[in-house]
Amino acid sequence: MKKIIIDNLSINFEKYMNKVINDNEVMVVTRKDNKNVVMLSEETYNNLMENIYVTGNKENYDWLMESKKQLEKLFQ
């Protein structure tokens, strides 16, 4: 995760957006009074939201862990 100051972001906005998207980079935009913003790609955001959904529901999480155990047994 990289940190950039807001002045640099505004000067090179497209460059930083491309870095976030193409390099799968997450950036923290530092602002006054430590009211920072995190910039990440839509793909990364969607992946995070899906993981939160899957692991946030006990039935989904239990099913996922059981599937993982079964897969691990296949490759032992």
Which pLDDT belongs to residue 38? 95
Whole-model pTM above 0.85?
no
Using CA atoms, how far apart are residues 46 and 41, in angstroms rounded to an integer?
A: 9
Question: 1-40 architecture in CATH?
Answer: 3-Layer(aba) Sandwich (3.40)
Using CA atoms, how far apart are residues 12 and 20, in angstroms rounded to an integer?
A: 13
User: How far lies 31's CA from each of 9, 22, 28, 35, 76, in Å?
Assistant: 11, 24, 9, 6, 50
Domain ranges of the chain: 1-40, 49-76
pLDDT in tens, 40-68: 999 999 999 998 988 888 998 899 899 99
